[in-house]
Structure 1
């Protein structure tokens, strides 16, 4: 199984820190943010990783990781030339995937405590479809909120005014290679991007979007507050 880490984006919420460096290279705890995703995948037995980055700081990524040997992984770099959304960034990994292959996708600014190993094993045993990881939060209105039925997600509502659960969809996704055809079927959102929620809802409409719930802490380290909180957790 392969891994994909999406580490493009401009990081506007962390300006001016991100004026000169990509946000995924900012320090969190004792290492750059991006290192935590690489380590989580490696520790789950995923050694072949596709790293999707923007042109900004591309040289710094190669200085940090090289080909990945020192980190116990094999890295392939893909450049996202312009902001087109998470689904568009994910589509860049298609040429590196085998037919009917399964893979794990991490958003590079999602930091979390749990090991990925049991969730990856559940996905391997799942059969066709996709799997996402959820986290119970006190402010679900800020996130994509799943409507749940037994072990399936019926639909994900993006930043709903009246959330139907207290869970959010984290930036940890697992897909089969049908995801690339699904990406080709969706249309850009109002902000002109291909949204990953729309892709997940295609799976949900087919009854093929399963989920697990994270036990430990999780954060989207895209703001100053969450960046500080993640550093505090990781230092402890």
Structure 2
């Protein structure tokens, strides 16, 4: 079995971070989201991985390389434009050949990995396997409707009136039959070849599409709130370690990891939290569920439930929370200015100004 990892999306919901960085490489607990997926694939015993890339191809390839760090053999497949998940399968035909494969969306996060799912697919050998989970707003996802026997009978992509609350999770398992499906379907109204349409084609043509409803944790890390939630979840199982230096005036409470070369002076860090290599924290407070990457500086500041990317500095600021701060950012207090109101008012106006 091979794997096809999709890493070509533009990440519009994570802008401005994704103006300068691939969304799949935004870190949670100081590790890119994409890496968690690659580790899950390797743990499932898969070695050959095709990574579908777009405009951020160079950045993805620089981060992953040949895949040696994950025990994988990677092939990069160019998708000139994000024309849908089924289109990604279409352009990957030469790599996939006639083997079964798992398709993994590179910005998705699943606690517990995919080993059990891959093993079951290998054992049962259906034509396709999908993962489903119950969500509060199914209209934002591909949605599955199950029949009375529990089999998938209908799939829709982002329906205005969903027929169920079962959303497709970003992991799919396919036999070579899917290649017929992606060639048979037409682009949707949004101009994409939808994987839900390909799956529906398989169902309509009598192929076996199995579903598994998962109760475990899954997130599509497509926006800031989801990124912070995944970061929180990963930090819950953080192994504490102090590899950097912490002075006697500092307090380290709970599960905290301080990487090599980091320095903590006169500060309080309450875990779960992680501090990257070479980061300097001085007279500051770092609260729970915070990931601070390598080479950052915190001085006289407070931060909690946030992600800070490498090379950034936060100085003299109280208080930062529920934030995603990009690379090489400077966060400082606004300059003091005289308190004043500047008004341009029309005739007969009424204005109330707080004292």
Taking structure 1 as the reference length, the TM-score comes to 0.93
The 8 Å contact of residues 127 and 175 in structure 2, kept in 1 or not, is answered as yes
Q: Which residue of 1 aligns with 2:165?
A: 166
Write the distance in 1 (CA, Å) between the matches of 2:46 and 2:11: 27
**1:197 — aligned with what?**
196
User: Does structure 2 conserve the Cα–Cα contact (< 8 Å) formed by 1:24 and 1:33?
Assistant: yes
Q: What's the offset of the Cα at 1:82?
A: 1.5
Query: 1:152, 1:208 within 8 Å by CA — same for their partners in 2?
Result: no
CA deviation digits over 1:42-88, x for unaligned, max 9?
111112111111132x2222222221112111111111112211111
Q: Does the 8 Å CA contact 1:114/1:215 hold for their aligned counterparts?
A: no
Give the Å deviation of 1:115.
2.6
**Structure richer in helix, relative to its length:** 1
Distance 1:60 1:162, change over 3 A: closer
What secondary structure does 1:35 align onto? helix
Structure 1 range deviating more: 181-190 or 134-143:
134-143
Moved more, 90-99 or 102-111: 90-99
TM-superposed deviation, 1:224:
1.1
Residue in 2 that maps onto 1:229:
229
In structure 2, how many angstroms separate the alpha carbons of the residues matched to 1:80 and 1:165?
A: 32
Q: Is the 8 A contact 2:66 2:74 kept in 1?
A: yes
**CA root-mean-square deviation:** 1.5
Unaligned runs of 5+ in 1: none
Moved over 4 A (4+): none
Give the aligned partner of residue 107 of structure 2. Answer: 109
Provide, for residues 157-186 of structure 1, a one-character-per-residue CA deviation record: whole Å limited to 9, x for no partner. 233344333211111100111212211111
Who is 1:18 aligned against? Answer: 18
Give the gaps of 5 or more residues in structure 2. Answer: 237-355
Larger radius of gyration: 2
The verdict on how the C-alpha distance between 1:207 and 1:97 changes in structure 2, with shifts beyond 3 A counting, is closer
Q: Which moved more, 1:118-127 or 1:194-203?
A: 118-127
After superposition, the Cα gap between the structure-2 partners of 1:211 and 1:66, relative to the gap in structure 1 and judged at 3 Å, is same
Structure with the bigger RCO (C-alpha within 8 Å, sep 6+) is: 1
> 1-side partners of 2:63 and 2:85: how far apart?
24
Give the structure 2 partner of residue 55 of structure 1: 55
